[in-house]
């Protein structure tokens, strides 16, 4: 069969796909704030607004709606990281058949619960989709149930392709590119097969995480590769090997695959939240991160970019990590290790060197009589400002190391600065709430006597009205009344933590 026949084949499959018994035609919405920032018109295809908060029910239902009554009676089985599982569970509920879902043990609990709540049987197995898939095939042989593949099936691909059909119907004006998240490849294969048949000038660009780039590597090598392991932050696309049919279609129709890292994904989640007040899951924000990277790389201006907001099944406890990393992903925070002299007043001088920049974090613990090592986060406008700040600090004779791209520092070291300090004699510990405004820290330092040495300092901007600050200060017993007067004059809320057992165990 030649290429034209392939195109026509999928065009017909997509046009006749049975999806709207369960799916809705999701909105195609402008992201106004993000569009202004990247100087292009960025549209969000809101698949996160589907009944299962993901596009996956399209392909699952289209496949299952075509099964015979006898096949439905035997039930269906699938393997999924979560969103396809919910699609299959909903389709089974609607069609009145039994469904067994094999999910990786790493699947977020919110997705496991959602599948169970729709009446499906859940089996947890392995750490990745590939592990779950192998176990599901074993169960298929034993139970004679019909396997509903999450991506490598023409009926599933056609169901996902209805997303592309809707985009072209909803936006008849020029589109420069459509950005699609890629796991196994079902969504991008369906969209590409449809769009390239009718609007071949539109670029189809896939987006994968740097640590789960099976399609990128496969297209580069011109054969399907198997990744030894995959990152699971974007669990919805944590696939070790892409599908055979999806790979064939992507080779023919996809223009490019872009890779993005965790920080860029977190920044994209924040971008979408600021425009829509909706929170996408990491895989759901992939295409937005890819569109931003592409627009910057190509120096695009005034183009229309369509992105697929593919899912919103986010575990709530991941939001802490997303918030922490989003500023780094936007390159709006620089993280540094700075060495300053261990003398009274040097901390204040260092803060003055940073100028009017907003400080996002300070971690410091007295450990050496001559040098102080400070872990500091600073709000910046772009990457160039980070480089300039490092150069300025070095020019002032301070040792400064840029840790903004250091994964260990960002994940662990920033939370581990501390420990016991035998040299910190007469130390007292206070917890403060600083007003979250420029100058609050300098007011604290300006008001403090130069006779008192700061021996511990921890601060992190939490995005609230008040900054939570922990400060250790060396104060002689005879100076304590003066220190108490300083606290009262300062006007900040404070708590004496000097007798806190956690302080005595780990820091005192």
Q: Where are the domains of the chain?
A: 3-55+154-327, 57-147, 331-506
Quickly tell me which residue has 């100087």 as its tokens.
39
CB 233 within 8 A of CB 208: no
Backbone angles phi, psi at 241, to 5 degrees: -145, 135
CB 50 within 8 A of CB 328: no
CB 357 within 8 A of CB 380: yes
d(C-alpha 148, C-alpha 366), whole Å: 60
**Which ranges constitute the DSSP H helices of 299-366?**
319-329, 346-353
Residues in the chain, total: 508
Eight-state DSSP code of residue 462? -
Query: If one looks up domain 3-55+154-327 in CATH, what number appears?
Result: 3.40.50.1100
Backbone angles phi, psi at 288, to 5 degrees: -65, -45
Quick one: which of 283, 276, 274 has its CA closest to 308? 283
Q: What pLDDT shows up at residue 1?
A: 39
DSSP string, 239-279: -SS--HHHHHHHHHH--EEEEE-HHHHHHHHHHHHHHHS--
125-163 burial code (b ≥16 CB/10 A, e <16): bbebbbbbbebbeebbeeeebbbbbbbbbbbbbbbbbbb
Q: What pLDDT shows up at residue 324?
A: 72
What CATH fold (topology level) applies to the domain 331-506? Answer: 3.40.1020
Backbone angles phi, psi at 450, to 5 degrees: -70, -10
Distances (CA, A) of 139 to 88, 122, 244, 313: 16, 12, 22, 27
> Residues 401, 402, 405, 408: is their CA dihedral positive or negative?
positive
Q: What pLDDT shows up at residue 402?
A: 86
Structure tokens at 362: 């300070």
Structure tokens at 412: 């662990």
Structure tokens at 123: 């089996």
* Same fold for the pair 3-55+154-327 and 57-147: yes
**Would you name the residues annotated as active-site residues?**
56, 310
What CATH fold (topology level) applies to the domain 57-147? Answer: Rossmann fold (3.40.50)
Q: What pLDDT shows up at residue 4?
A: 46
Encode the chain (508 residues) as per-residue pLDDT tens digits.
Answer: 344 444 448 999 999 999 999 999 999 999 999 999 999 999 999 999 999 999 999 999 999 999 999 999 999 999 987 789 999 999 999 999 999 999 888 777 777 888 899 999 999 988 777 788 899 999 999 999 999 999 999 999 999 999 999 999 999 999 999 999 999 999 999 999 999 999 999 999 999 999 999 999 999 999 999 998 888 788 889 888 999 999 999 999 999 999 999 889 999 999 999 999 999 999 999 999 999 999 999 999 999 999 999 999 887 777 877 877 776 666 777 888 888 887 877 877 887 888 777 777 777 777 777 887 788 888 787 778 888 888 888 888 888 888 887 765 665 566 656 667 778 889 898 888 776 666 777 777 777 776 788 888 877 655 555 667 788 889 999 999 999 888 888 888 888 888 887 677 666 6
d(C-alpha 17, C-alpha 14), whole Å: 5
Quickly tell me which residue has 């099944």 as its tokens.
313
Helix H or strand E segment including 317:
none
Eight-state DSSP code of residue 471? E
């Amino acid at each position: 069969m030649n290429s034209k026949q392939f195109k026509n084949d999928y065009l017909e499959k997509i046009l006749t796909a049975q999806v709207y018994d369960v799916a809705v035609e999701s909105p195609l919405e402008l992201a106004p704030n993000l569009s202004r920032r990247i100087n292009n018109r960025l549209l969000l295809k809101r698949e996160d607004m589907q009944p299962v908060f993901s596009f996956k029910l399209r392909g699952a239902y289209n496949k299952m709606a075509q099964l015979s009554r006898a096949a439905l009676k035997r039930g269906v089985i699938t393997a999924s990281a979560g969103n396809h599982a919910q699609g299959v569970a909903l389709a089974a509920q609607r069609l009145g058949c039994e469904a067994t879902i094999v999910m990786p043990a790493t699947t977020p609990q919110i997705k496991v619960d959602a599948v169970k709540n729709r009446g499906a049987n859940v089996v947890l197995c392995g750490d990745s989709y590939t592990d779950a898939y192998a176990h599901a095939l074993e169960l298929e042989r034993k139970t004679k149930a019909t396997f509903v593949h999450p991506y490598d099936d023409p009926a599933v691909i056609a169901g996902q392709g209805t997303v592309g059909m809707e985009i072209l119907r909803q936006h008849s004006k020029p589109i420069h590119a459509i950005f699609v998240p890629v796991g196994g490849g079902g969504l991008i294969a369906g969209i590409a097969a449809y769009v390239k048949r009718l609007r071949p000038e539109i670029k189809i660009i896939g987006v994968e995480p740097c640590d789960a780039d099976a399609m990128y590597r496969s297209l580069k090598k011109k054969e399907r590769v198997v990744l030894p392991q995959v990152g699971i932050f974007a669990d919805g696309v944590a696939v070790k090997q892409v599908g055979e049919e999806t790979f064939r279609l992507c080779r023919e129709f996809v223009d490019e695959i872009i890779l993005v890292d965790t920080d860029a994904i977190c920044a994209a989640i924040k971008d979408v939240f600021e425009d829509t007040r909706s929170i996408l899951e990491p895989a759901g924000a992939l295409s937005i991160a890819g569109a931003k990277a592409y627009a910057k790389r190509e120096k695009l201006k005034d183009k229309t970019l369509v992105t697929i907001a593919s899912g919103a099944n986010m575990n709530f406890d991941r939001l802490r990590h997303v918030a922490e990393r989003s500023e780094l992903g936007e390159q709006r925070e620089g993280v540094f290790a700075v060495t300053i002299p261990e003398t009274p007043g040097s901390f204040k001088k260092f803060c003055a060197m940073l100028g009017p920049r907003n400080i996002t974090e300070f971690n410091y613990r007295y450990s050496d009589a001559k040098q102080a090592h400070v872990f500091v986060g600073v709000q910046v406008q772009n990457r160039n400002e980070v480089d300039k700040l490092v150069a300025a600090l070095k020019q002032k004779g301070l040792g400064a190391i840029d840790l903004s791209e250091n994964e260990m520092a960002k994940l662990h070291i920033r939370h581990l600065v501390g420990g016991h300090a035998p040299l910190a004699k007469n130390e007292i510990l206070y917890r403060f709430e600083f007003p979250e405004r420029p100058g609050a820290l300098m007011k604290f330092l300006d008001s403090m006597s130069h006779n008192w040495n700061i021996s511990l300092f921890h601060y992190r901007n939490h995005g609230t009205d008040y900054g939570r600050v922990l400060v250790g200060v060396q104060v002689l017993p005879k100076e304590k009344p003066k220190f108490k007067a300083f606290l009262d004059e300062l006007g900040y809320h404070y708590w004496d933590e000097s007798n806190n057992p956690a302080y005595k165990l780990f820091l005192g």
